[in-house]
Amino acid sequence: MPVFFSQRQFVVPGELLAEGNYVAGSNVYRVGNMFFSSSVGLAELKDRTVTVIALSGCYIPRPADLVIGEIVEVSMASWMVDINSPYQAILFASEFLSKPLNPLKEDPRRYLDVGDMVIAKVLNFDRTRNPSLTAKEKG
């Protein structure tokens, strides 16, 4: 089961990446038992999954991704975050603060306001809802 690239090697569309018992991940397609790149990017092999991290195109969030975003909207108990993706992310106050936020007594703008930048981790995302973020973990 040969692999024809080294970790994070630059690849182009149509380039043969691997042969054998692997799983096609993002930006990879399978023909028989051969796996090819479908975009320009960096090839990776992790847990028998062959993927290509695209160097162009839009960013599609995945759980556990670390993102940097800008606060674009403030609601009573959450913030909308622009993560340079077709999907705006949501950061709930409970995933940012170490204490509960009472929106009747506290203004969330006291903690984050429009234009502020945050570093957060993607908790979940399934294309039917905006990605959820957490800023409680060390990053």
> Structural domains in the chain?
9-54 (2.40.50.100), 66-134 (2.40.50.140)
Entry pTM: 0.68
pLDDT at 139: 55
pLDDT at 127: 79
Q: What is the dihedral of CA 132, 75, 101, 81, to 10 degrees?
A: 40
pLDDT at 102: 86
What does each C-alpha distance from 21 to 1, 38, 48, 49, 90 come to in angstroms? 7, 19, 8, 9, 38
Beta strand 28-31 with 66-74 is: unpaired
Residue 93 to residue 113: CA distance in whole angstroms: 12
The answer to whether the CB of 24 falls within 8 A of the CB of 37 is no
pLDDT at 101: 86
The answer to whether the CB of 56 falls within 8 A of the CB of 75 is no
How high is the mean pLDDT in each 10-residue block of the chain (139 residues)?
Answer: 93 96 95 96 95 87 92 95 94 91 88 96 90 85
pLDDT at 109: 93
